[in-house]
Amino acid sequence: MKRKIITTKDGSKTIHIEDWNEQYHSTHGAIQEAKHVFLKHGLAFKLSEIENTSNPSLSILEIGFGTGLNALLTFLESQKHHIPIAYTGVEAYPVSLDEISELNYAELLSTNQEEQTIFKQMHTCVWEKPCFLSKEFSLTKVKMFFKDITFNNQFDVIYFDAFGSRVQPELWEVPIFKRMYKALKNKGVLVTYSAKGSARRAMQEVGFQVEKLPGPPGKREMLRAIK
């Protein structure tokens, strides 16, 4: 499919898929959206729950590793909080290194040279094995289709960042959310930018408690589902 790099309203770039008229991120701001949906309502929400426990740590599953923006933002948070994070990104169609080199996330998010190189390392490190990017943060990239996920009781947080249901409706239905529910630990949290009624009902049908939250700029609502 024909793709091109575009600049979103907060100055951060994203990938536009011309045949689908779909982006990897919101055109209102890629970084802004990722921080709001995944970092604030997913990561920070769960961190506030565990921060005062003894030996806190987190395991995160990303549905659609894509450009690695969510992984980079989560890495930067792990450095601030000194909480070990095991991050697993599932992706069937990895983004090419040429495209990655055109994305400006590392430059916008950090002035620290070492942190900037982490973004590149995320894309050059091996698949299917943990890459230790710092003392606190490991990244495991898994090349597979979402429908084949069989993780069991393993994750505290899921960043559910599939393309929208307009273009991939099958990713927002009961069979996928059953797999997400099983992948989470008890009280685990799934967050997504979508607030679509049919997706919310599918989540409820598999057992999630679902709440609507205010969305990022340009989007009225988003969903958070708790196991």
Does residue number 92 form part of the binding site for ligand SAM (CB under 6 A)?
Answer: yes
CB atoms inside a 10 Å sphere around CB 45:
16
Binding-residue total with ligand SAM (CB under 6 A):
17
Phi and psi at residue 150, to the nearest 5°: -130, 20
Does residue number 132 form part of the binding site for ligand SAM (CB under 6 A)?
Answer: no
Q: How far is the CB of 42 from ligand SAM (least distance, A)?
A: 12
Q: 176 near 34, Cβ under 8 Å? A: no
CB atoms inside a 10 Å sphere around CB 220:
9
**Which of residues 133 and 209 has its CB atom nearest to ligand SAM in the complex?**
133
Q: How far is the CB of 10 from ligand SAM (least distance, A)?
A: 14
Distance CA 28, CA 63 (A): 21
Distance CA 38, CA 144 (A): 22
Binding flags for ligand SAM, 161-190, as an x/- string (CB under 6 A): xxx----x----------------------
Q: How far is the CB of 66 from ligand SAM (least distance, A)?
A: 3
Binding flags for ligand SAM, 52-91, as an x/- string (CB under 6 A): ----------x-x-xx-xx-------------------xx
Does residue number 146 form part of the binding site for ligand SAM (CB under 6 A)?
Answer: yes
**Which of residues 65 and 208 has its CB atom nearest to ligand SAM in the complex?**
65
Q: How far is the CB of 218 from ligand SAM (least distance, A)?
A: 15
Helix locations, 66-222, DSSP H: 69-81, 97-101, 105-109, 113-124, 174-183, 197-205
Q: 125 near 141, Cβ under 8 Å? A: yes
CB proximity list for 197: less than 8 A, separation 6 or greater: none
Q: Which amino acid is at 154?
A: Q
Burial zone of 226 (CB within 10 Å; 0-12 exposed, 13-18 middle, 19+ buried): middle
**Which of residues 69 and 184 has its CB atom nearest to ligand SAM in the complex?**
69
CA-based end-to-end distance of the chain: 36
**Position closest to ligand SAM via CB:** 66
Binding flags for ligand SAM, 16-55, as an x/- string (CB under 6 A): --------x-------------------------------
**Which of residues 68 and 188 has its CB atom nearest to ligand SAM in the complex?**
68
List residues binding ligand SAM (CB under 6 A): 24, 62, 64, 66-67, 69-70, 90-93, 145-146, 161-163, 168
